[in-house]
Amino acid sequence: MRPYTDTVPKVLLPVGGEPFAAHQLRLLRSQGFTDVVLCVGHLGERVEEFVGDGADYGLRTRFVNDGPHLRGTAGALRQALDLGLLAETFAVVYGDSYLPIDVAPVWGAFESTSQPALMTIFRNDVDPEQSNVVYEDGRLVRYQKGAAGPAMRYIDFGLSILDRSVIADRVPTGATVDLATVMEDLSHEGALAGFVVEQRYYEIGSPAGLEDLERYLASRGPTATVSDP
């Protein structure tokens, strides 16, 4: 999203007249989340200033700031773990994704599986070259970014649930690691469950994606800031 993100963190890009973070936090609250840890880097101080303690959204928000030395998505989660901010079981969503789904069945699926992690996936019939998941006979067989092929008919939807041990055991303190690498390793070991989502996802990683999200939000009418009484 450059050049816009040169001066504005992506999560604060305007969507429908207000920063994307406001939409995402309201959605998370409506899905039942109460505690949110935001892992930030580029211009992260501006995100902290905007979101604050999360009370305006009925949430408790805390921050992990990589500063100028980004440690990757899994490295940031390791920092959160070392700071005592990760629950025993926690969900991960991308900072530029808007995922309007019922989360309860996803949690239920995770709780009923023996695997330490679960990834939501979406049947990708629009752009097969972006597919990254082999899902067969109700099992997530392989997850690998950048390796699309005929067997890969699904794509990572953007919501995963992990046991805290995944980060504790696989991501060393101070390491620079992408979560995609951890999830790929889990899939090869048969330790990554899959949950198929029917609702499409929205994202602000491209101008077209941002416009799609604005149209979707406009179709749902105005939203109000949520606060606990």
Burial class (CB in 10 A: 0-12, 13-18, 19+), 209: middle
Which pLDDT tens digit goes with each residue over 142-178?
A: 999 887 778 889 999 999 999 999 999 999 999 999 9
What's the pLDDT tens digit per position in 9-64?
A: 889 999 988 999 999 999 999 999 999 999 988 788 999 999 999 999 999 999 99
Min mean pLDDT across 97-106, 145-154, 200-209 is at 145-154
Q: Give percent of the chain above pLDDT 90.
A: 69
User: Which is nearest to 5 in space by CA: 205, 168, 191?
Assistant: 205
Dist CA 49 CA 46 (whole Å): 5
Nearest to 95 by CA among 166, 3, 217, 13: 13
Question: Span 131-139, mean pLDDT?
Answer: 92
| Rounded alpha-carbon distances, angstroms, from residue 218 to 34, 137, 213 | 26, 38, 8
Domains of the chain by range and CATH? 9-219 (3.90.550.10)
pLDDT of 229 higher than 70:
no
